[in-house]
């Protein structure tokens, strides 16, 4: 399972980090100059934020494909790009005023538009839903329009980033995996990857940035760790080590007591040897905080 580190720092693309990154269109749009990528990366459309704030997409398919084309050319090394999908979380639908069914229809329709405009761009389809049946209805809609999802290198799974129950996400993932789909899970809670990581091709998260907001910076110039590259890479390393441990059983979610979260409270920060300052109180997560940028 490949893991993309979510970041809202586009400059990191030019750094030789050895870690694939997920960067949002919202962080790249309108820039006069763009970094040249040193490693592979993926483009998030920024849809969670766009729909949560505005209740609609403010740019059309043609403008978005032009932006994706520019990123693919000027930044380079783009693995794939997300479409203008329509998330189905209740607060997003309250903002759009549309039904879940309409969100699914618009998700499929946008992918078809993007594919027809620029068929050579690596834009992936995304299946959306609330219940398992919704995801399969979305997948069926793609296939009715001639999109063979099982033949594609990657299919995104949306509207899972705010689900607090990993078992629920696992059931969704495994049901889609059973259709033969190669899946990317957007913004999942990383603790759940031990349960269903064997059923997906890739995932992403910016959990490190959210947890870092409540840790004092490791240098005097950093108020917190929310934008710290050193902290982000150390978080990514701990996550990879946890996922490689043999003491969990794929598909069961069982882990030994020694298998801890890569962002466990009070964990040591890299490069920090002095006395630790008091952590700030952590409020509940805000909408979309688990996704890169935030989606």
Q: Note whether residue 262 is domain-resident.
A: no
Could you tell me if residue 272 is inside a domain?
Answer: no
Q: Give the pLDDT confidence score for residue 191 in this predicted structure.
A: 83
Does residue 270 lie within any of the structural domains?
A: no
Domain that holds residue 26: 2-255
Specify which residues 44 forms β-bridges with: 24
Start-to-end CA span in the chain (Å) = 21
Distance of alpha carbon 250 from alpha carbon 272, whole angstroms: 34
117: domain CATH number is 3.20.20
pLDDT of residue 55: 98
Q: Over the stretch 210-260, which tens digit does the pLDDT of each residue have?
A: 666 656 667 666 666 667 888 899 889 999 998 887 654 544 444 443 344
* Count of domains observed in the chain: 1
Establish if 279 belongs to a structural domain.
no
Tokens of 257: 């007591």
Share of the chain above pLDDT 90, in %: 66
Burial of 157 (0-12, 13-18, 19+ CB in 10 A): buried
In a domain, 139, yes or no: yes
23, part of any domain? yes
What are the pLDDT digits (tens) for 225-239?
A: 667 888 899 889 999
- Rounded average pLDDT per 10-residue block, the chain, 295 residues: 94 97 96 98 97 97 98 99 98 98 99 98 98 98 99 97 84 98 93 92 84 62 71 90 70 43 41 42 37 41
């Amino acid at each position: 399972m490949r893991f993309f580190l979510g970041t809202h720092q586009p400059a990191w693309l030019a750094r030789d980090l050895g870690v694939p990154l997920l960067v949002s269109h919202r962080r790249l749009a309108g820039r006069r100059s763009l970094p040249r990528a040193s490693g592979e990366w993926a483009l998030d459309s920024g849809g969670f934020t766009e729909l949560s704030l505005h209740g609609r997409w403010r740019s059309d398919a043609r403008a978005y494909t032009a932006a994706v084309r520019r990123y693919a050319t000027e930044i380079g090394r783009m693995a794939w790009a997300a479409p203008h999908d329509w998330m189905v979380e209740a607060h997003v639908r309250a903002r759009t005023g549309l039904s879940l069914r309409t969100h699914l229809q618009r998700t499929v329709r946008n992918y078809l538009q993007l594919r027809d405009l620029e068929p050579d761009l690596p834009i992936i389809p995304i299946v959306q839903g609330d219940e398992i049946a919704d995801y399969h209805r979305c997948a069926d809609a793609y296939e009715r329009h001639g999109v063979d999802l099982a033949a594609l290198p990657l299919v995104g799974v949306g509207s899972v980033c705010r689900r607090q129950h990993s078992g629920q996400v696992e059931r969704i993932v495994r049901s889609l995996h059973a259709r033969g789909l190669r899946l990317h899970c957007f913004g999942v809670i990383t603790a759940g990857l031990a349960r269903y990581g064997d059923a997906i091709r890739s995932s992403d998260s910016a959990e490190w940035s959210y947890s870092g907001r409540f840790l004092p910076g490791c240098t005097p110039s950093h108020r917190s760790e929310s934008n710290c590259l050193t902290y982000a890479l150390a978080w990514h390393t701990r996550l990879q080590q946890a996922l490689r441990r043999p003491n969990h059983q794929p598909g069961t979610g069982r882990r030994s007591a020694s298998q801890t979260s890569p962002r466990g409270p009070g964990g040591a920060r890299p490069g920090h040897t002095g006395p630790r300052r008091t952590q700030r109180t952590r409020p509940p997560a805000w909408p979309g905080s688990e996704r890169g940028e935030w989606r």
